[in-house]
């Protein structure tokens, strides 16, 4: 049965029609226990979803939708290694990356927990030799600087985690991330480092991504030229994390310095795999392990908690309510933590690349909306940038606030101020403000939904929990929409056309007409940019 004609969908449509005139503030007035009832405390987290339009009947309707869409069966299929990425005929097993060895997850009859823990052991040994100063560069210097080269899922996760947890970094370790093919990124980085004490990590699941390979080749050429070292020195200064071991060897990386992972790990879910090596090198292996443990704890919660108190399920269902029934098109993710400045971009890829899809798993054009437009910034910076529109424009944008009980800095009064702001924002969105007729510009309509996640501390364990929470939220939504959250065909066309344009450049630079016929706009700009 089509989702949009199903009983649970129909019931929710009716509930929306019945309830959309009542305001969130009215719900609170009718139910003094609403805040306690519509919030959950779990393992150092408080999730408050009382400042949304959810009522008991809407919550029950959403859980009925999850049941109707066989969410539990789909969840068990992922955890049991079924090929839920059907277009690529692959299992989706990032959960296995943070499980203990004795979890014995299987894919295609193979115990991948053994492979995963063998790789973790290899990573730990590698980190140890570097941290103890036993690993020496081409002229005997210990490694002090990591340059991580990757893009998309092979960059955003490690970058975000290293930035978020920089207060836990090992003394004397520096890290840089280079992703953009714009040479300014690599050039700026190379200008700041000493090649003799630098380790370049080349991160690419496919080892075919143009941006990463170009940056890696240029880094290698720079290293050899600047140090004057022989080609063999590459083995001491370059390592790779990839599924495509042969391509990494061809690039010149020593086979011992290649850290693999399974094809069942999607790029945007890969920071838990060897792609997380820069995290372990920068923060220490124990902190990387704590990050994995936090994610594993959330996996267990997702797997076992009943839907009405299951954090990823509720976060996902609230998103479905907002997207499909309230028809809100965007979602703001607003971490009130300076060190989580990179989190919105990370979650943007995770969500938009997963659920921004045009067809369902069977290739049918989706007649209903799927993934929202995700954006965000760290609070309070966002308040002074785009919150004006969130508070007063005609567009309703649900907000997901994330705040931390404990301060990271010793400046407790700053932390108190930060927390006052996050609470003020969700309250302002809900209650609004009536203005005097003489000042209509000061009117706030209010009744704008938000959820707030309060986390004990920005620690490796709790960050692991938060990231797994969002991974599973996205799974829940994809499962209900009936789409494949684990492929990304929408990024391919641009790559193909960029190759085509690149192939035409020599001819155009020679002042001749390209053999490929481009649309007039593209041709015009190509001539403007490249014709002599
Ligand atoms: O942008 C498309 C994409 O395939 C992402 O999904 C992926 O994270 C990124 O490119 C990088 O891919 P790779 O790790 O293969 O270099």
| CATH number of domain containing 392 | 3.40.50.10490
Same domain membership, residue 339 and residue 476: yes
pLDDT at 115 over 90: yes
> How large a percentage of the chain has pLDDT more than 90?
96
Output the CA 154–ligand 1 centroid distance in Å.
7
pLDDT at 353 over 90: yes
Nearest CA to ligand 1 atom 3: 152
Domain-located, residue 95: no
Of 205, 271, 273, the residue with max ligand 1 atoms within 8 A of its CB, to mutate for a pocket test, comes to 205
Residue 202 to residues 128, 176, 236, 241, 313, Cα–Cα distance (Å): 19, 12, 13, 6, 35
pLDDT at 515 over 80: no
Same domain membership, residue 301 and residue 279: no
pLDDT at 20 over 90: no
Catalytic residue numbers, as ranges: 353, 384, 495
Domain-located, residue 76: no
Output the CA 150–ligand 1 centroid distance in Å.
9
**Confidence category of residue 499, pLDDT binned at 50, 70, 90:** very high
Same domain membership, residue 436 and residue 301: yes
Q: Which atom of ligand 1 is nearest to the CA of 150?
A: 16
Domain-located, residue 59: yes
Domain-located, residue 77: no
Report the DSSP beta bridge partners of residue 467.
none
pLDDT at 117 over 90: yes
Of 247, 355, 488, the residue with max ligand 1 atoms within 8 A of its CB, to mutate for a pocket test, comes to 488
Same domain membership, residue 293 and residue 179: no
Mean confidence (pLDDT) of the chain: 97
Output the CA 55–ligand 1 centroid distance in Å.
40
Of 85, 151, 156, 248, the residue with max ligand 1 atoms within 8 A of its CB, to mutate for a pocket test, comes to 151
Segments forming the whole domain that contains residue 223:
110-283
- How far apart, in whole angstroms, are the C-alpha atoms of residue 259 and residue 288? 16
pLDDT at 1: 76
Last residue of a domain, one of 236, 259, 283: 283
Same domain membership, residue 150 and residue 52: no
Query: Measured between alpha carbons, how far apart are the two ends of the chain, in Å?
Result: 60
Same domain membership, residue 315 and residue 301: yes
Same domain membership, residue 205 and residue 271: yes
pLDDT at 28 over 80: yes
How large is the average pLDDT for residues 492-505?
A: 95
Decide: 485 in ligand 1 pocket, CB within 6 A. Answer: no
How many Cα atoms within 13 Å fall on the side-chain side of residue 397? 22
How large is the average pLDDT for residues 58-64?
A: 98
Same domain membership, residue 319 and residue 232: no
**Confidence category of residue 406, pLDDT binned at 50, 70, 90:** very high
Residue 366 to residues 88, 242, 358, Cα–Cα distance (Å): 19, 34, 6
How large is the average pLDDT for residues 4-19?
A: 96
Q: Which two tokens stand for residue 395?
A: 């567009």
pLDDT tens, position by position, 124-165: 999 999 999 999 999 999 999 999 999 999 999 999 999 999
Decide: 312 in ligand 1 pocket, CB within 6 A. Answer: no
Q: Which atom of ligand 1 is nearest to the CA of 275?
A: 14
Domain-located, residue 377: yes
Decide: 215 in ligand 1 pocket, CB within 6 A. Answer: no
Same domain membership, residue 437 and residue 308: yes
- The sign of the torsion formed by the CA atoms of 463, 466, 469, 474 equals negative
In this structure, the strands spanning 450-455 and 399-404 are: parallel
pLDDT at 286: 98
Domain-located, residue 80: no
pLDDT at 239 over 90: yes
pLDDT tens, position by position, 64-111: 999 999 999 999 999 999 999 999 999 999 999 999 999 999 999 999
Nearest CA to ligand 1 atom 9: 152
- How far apart, in whole angstroms, are the C-alpha atoms of residue 250 and residue 241? 14
Q: Which two tokens stand for residue 428?
A: 């302002």
Last residue of a domain, one of 283, 298, 330: 283
Whether residue 82 contacts residue 91, with contact meaning beta carbons closer than 8 Å, is answered with: yes
Output the CA 215–ligand 1 centroid distance in Å.
15
How large is the average pLDDT for residues 30-59?
A: 97
pLDDT tens, position by position, 283-339: 999 999 999 999 999 999 999 999 999 999 999 999 999 999 999 999 999 999 999
How large is the average pLDDT for residues 372-393?
A: 97
Q: What are phi and psi of 518, to 5 degrees?
A: -95, 165
**Confidence category of residue 113, pLDDT binned at 50, 70, 90:** very high
Same domain membership, residue 496 and residue 470: no
pLDDT at 513 over 90: no
* Burial (CB count within 10 angstroms: exposed 0-12, middle 13-18, buried 19+), residue 77: middle
Nearest CA to ligand 1 atom 10: 152
Domain-located, residue 60: yes
Output the CA 241–ligand 1 centroid distance in Å.
13
How large is the average pLDDT for residues 382-407?
A: 98
pLDDT at 435: 87
Domain-located, residue 298: yes
- How far apart, in whole angstroms, are the C-alpha atoms of residue 319 and residue 475? 12
Q: How many domains does the chain have?
A: 3
Same domain membership, residue 262 and residue 185: yes
- How far apart, in whole angstroms, are the C-alpha atoms of residue 149 and residue 154? 8
Same domain membership, residue 166 and residue 56: no
How large is the average pLDDT for residues 484-513?
A: 94
Q: Which atom of ligand 1 is nearest to the CA of 151?
A: 11
């Amino acid at each position: 049965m089509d989702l949009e004609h199903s009983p649970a969908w129909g019931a929710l449509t009716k509930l929306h029609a019945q309830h959309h005139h009542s305001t969130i503030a009215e719900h609170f007035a009718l139910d003094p226990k609403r805040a306690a009832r519509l919030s959950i405390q779990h393992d150092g987290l408080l999730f408050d979803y009382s400042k949304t339009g959810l009522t008991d009947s809407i919550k029950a309707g959403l859980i009925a939708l999850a049941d109707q869409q066989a969410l539990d069966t789909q969840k068990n299929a992922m955890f049991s290694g079924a090929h839920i990425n059907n277009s690529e005929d692959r299992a989706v097993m990032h959960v296995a990356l943070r499980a203990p060895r004795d979890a014995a997850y299987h894919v295609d009859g193979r115990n991948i927990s053994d492979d995963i823990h063998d790789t973790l052991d290899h990573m730990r040994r590698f980190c140890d030799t570097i941290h103890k100063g036993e690993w020496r560069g081409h002229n005997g210097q210990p490694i002090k600087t990591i340059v991580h080269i990757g893009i998309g899922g092979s960059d955003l996760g490690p970058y975000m985690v290293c930035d978020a947890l920089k207060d836990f970094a090992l003394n004397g370790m520096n890290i840089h991330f280079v992703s953009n093919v714009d040479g300014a990124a690599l050039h700026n980085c190379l200008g700041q480092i000493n090649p003799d004490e630098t380790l370049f990590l080349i991160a690419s699941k496919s080892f075919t991504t143009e941006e990463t390979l170009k940056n890696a080749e240029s880094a290698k050429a720079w290293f050899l030229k600047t140090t004057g070292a022989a080609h063999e020195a590459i083995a001491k200064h370059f390592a790779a994390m990839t599924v495509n071991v042969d391509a990494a060897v061809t690039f010149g990386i020593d086979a011992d310095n290649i850290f693999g992972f399974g094809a069942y790990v999607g790029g945007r879910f890969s920071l838990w795999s060897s792609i997380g090596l820069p995290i372990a090198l920068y923060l220490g292996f124990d902190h990387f392990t704590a990050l994995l443990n936090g994610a594993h704890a959330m996996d267990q919660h997702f797997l076992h908690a009943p839907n009405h108190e299951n954090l990823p399920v509720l976060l996902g269902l609230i998103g479905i309510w907002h997207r499909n029934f309230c028809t809100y098109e965007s979602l703001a993710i607003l971490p009130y933590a300076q060190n989580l400045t990179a989190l919105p971009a990370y979650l943007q890829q995770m969500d938009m690349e997963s659920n921004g899809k045009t067809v369902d798993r069977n290739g049918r054009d989706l007649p209903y909306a799927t993934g929202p437009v995700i954006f965000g910034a760290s609070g309070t910076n966002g308040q002074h940038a785009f919150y004006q529109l969130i508070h007063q424009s005609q567009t309703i944008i649900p907000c997901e606030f994330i705040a931390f009980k404990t301060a990271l800095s010793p400046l407790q009064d700053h932390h108190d101020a930060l927390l006052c702001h996050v609470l003020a924002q969700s309250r302002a969105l809900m209650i609004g403000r009536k203005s005097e007729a003489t000042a209509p510009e000061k009117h706030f309509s209010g009744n704008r939904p938000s959820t707030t996640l309060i986390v004990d501390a920005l620690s490796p364990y709790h960050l692991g929990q938060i990231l797994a929470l969002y991974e599973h939220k996205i799974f829940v939504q994809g499962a209900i929409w009936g789409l494949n959250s684990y492929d990304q065909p929408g990024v391919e066309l641009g790559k193909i056309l960029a190759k085509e344009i690149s192939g035409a450049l020599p001819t155009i630079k020679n002042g001749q007409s390209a053999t490929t016929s481009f649309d007039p706009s593209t041709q015009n700009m190509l001539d403007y940019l490249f014709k002599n």
